[in-house]
Amino acid sequence: MRMRTVEIGVGAFMLAGMLALIVLALNVSGLNLSEQSGGYKVYARFDNIGGLTPRAKVAMSGVQIGQVTAIRIDRDLLMAEVEMEIFDDVDYLTTDSSASILTAGLLGEQYIGVVPGAEDEILADGDYIRDTQSALVLEELIGKFLFNKVSE
């Protein structure tokens, strides 16, 4: 009887460990089981998106307000065009809002940070955020630093 109790305990421990690994994998990959659906599409153009990927979060003041749904090249302007789906309950982004590509931590994941503006007109489905700031690429910064040191 004692051996059966030990076997059940080990089995429960293994099951809890596997469940913890699944939850960790979901959190690291950015997938959510309770994903908020619906919203409106907003677009922004950037010179350089760095390592931004689809499903990256769109945040305002550190709170997620949407996610990146697609990234493509604008053939006319030759810039990266980012499509973002903003949650329906975020209905206060104005037309003069700005979007920046930020990095979580020193070498963490990249996401879009939105700063609302002061205009009265609200962004609608299909509108563009005009004021954008591209990603800081660490390799470019190191290259500029080294080039300046060599030229001195």
Residue 61 has pLDDT above 80, yes or no: yes
pLDDT for 30 equals 60
Q: Domain span at residue 29?
A: 1-34
62/130 same-domain check: yes
Spatial separation of the C-alpha atoms in residues 26 and 49, rounded to whole Å: 24
Higher pLDDT, 132 or 150: 132
44/29 same-domain check: no
Is residue 58 within 8 A of residue 64, CB to CB? The reply is yes
For residue 11, tell me if it sits in a domain: yes
pLDDT for 32 equals 59
Looking at the structure of the chain, the number of domains it has is: 2
pLDDT for 36 equals 58
Q: What is the mean pLDDT of the chain?
A: 86
8/67 same-domain check: no
For residue 147, tell me if it sits in a domain: no
Q: In angstroms, what CA-CA distances link 61 with 71, 120, 136?
A: 23, 20, 19
54/26 same-domain check: no
Burial class (CB in 10 A: 0-12, 13-18, 19+), 115: middle
3-state secondary structure of 34: coil
> What is the DSSP secondary structure assignment for residue 52, as one 8-state letter?
-
56/120 same-domain check: yes
Residue 8 has pLDDT above 60, yes or no: yes
Label residue 114 by pLDDT band (50, 70, 90): very high
For residue 9, tell me if it sits in a domain: yes
For residue 97, tell me if it sits in a domain: yes
Q: Which of 37-51, 58-72, 79-93 has the lowest mean pLDDT?
A: 37-51
What are 122's two structure tokens? Answer: 């609200």
